[in-house]
């Protein structure tokens, strides 16, 4: 999807609710996103802040952390959807943690997305100040690919990438 197509969808959404569940992947820097959105409709959610509320007693088990992160995210999304007055655009940052613990996007579809809401997962492009040593294997597109593969069929084209 191009930035122009994305702006058209946001423009229509400002005027009225749009049928369907709308989840977007913003594969650019968050600072580039905000000028395209109406400030009055934006709600931000930082996954790292959510995770900080998870009890430290769960930090030894991957499965426990995943379960608690899912539970915490579900609760937060239910809170946000309960206060929707008009339309709401949820901008989700630090999504890498969701990928790390394989938290499914179905939580967004079943607890938040509706005609009056849009969720945008921000997956910034990675930049390193220095070249990584050869022995470090790091694919900077892994987080993006994880979410791209999880998108529901109705949202497969809702990816806005940077240049």
d(CA 39, CA 77): 19
d(CA 4, CA 36): 10
Residue 59 CB-half CA count within 13 A: 7
Position 146 scores a pLDDT of: 86
For 109-128, give the secondary structure using H, E and C: HHHCCCCCEEEEEECCCCCC
pTM: 0.88
Strand-pairing partners, residue 90, are 43, 119
Domains of the chain, CATH where assigned: 3-161 (3.40.50)
Token pair for 20: 């369907």
Position 26 scores a pLDDT of: 96
Residue 124 CB-half CA count within 13 A: 12
Average pLDDT by stretches of 10, the chain with 163 residues: 94 93 93 95 94 70 87 96 93 92 93 95 75 68 86 89 74
Q: Which candidate, 37, 45, 31, 39, places its Cα nearest to that of 79?
A: 45
Position 13 scores a pLDDT of: 95
């Amino acid at each position: 999807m191009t930035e122009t197509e994305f702006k058209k969808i946001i423009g229509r959404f400002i005027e009225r609710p749009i049928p369907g569940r709308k989840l977007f992947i913003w594969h650019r820097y968050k600072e580039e996103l905000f000028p395209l959105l109406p400030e009055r409709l934006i709600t931000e959610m930082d996954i790292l802040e959510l995770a900080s509320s998870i009890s430290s007693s769960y930090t030894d088990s991957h499965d426990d952390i995943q379960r608690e992160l899912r539970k915490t995210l579900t609760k937060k999304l239910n809170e946000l959807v309960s206060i929707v007055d008009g339309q709401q655009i949820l901008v989700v940052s630090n999504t890498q943690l969701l990928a790390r613990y394989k938290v499914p996007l179905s939580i967004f579809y079943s607890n938040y997305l509706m005609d009056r809401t849009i969720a945008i997962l921000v997956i910034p492009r990675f930049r390193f100040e220095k070249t990584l040593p050869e022995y470090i294997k790091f694919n900077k597109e892994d987080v993006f690919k994880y979410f791209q593969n999880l998108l529901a069929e109705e949202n497969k084209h809702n990816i806005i990438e940077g240049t």
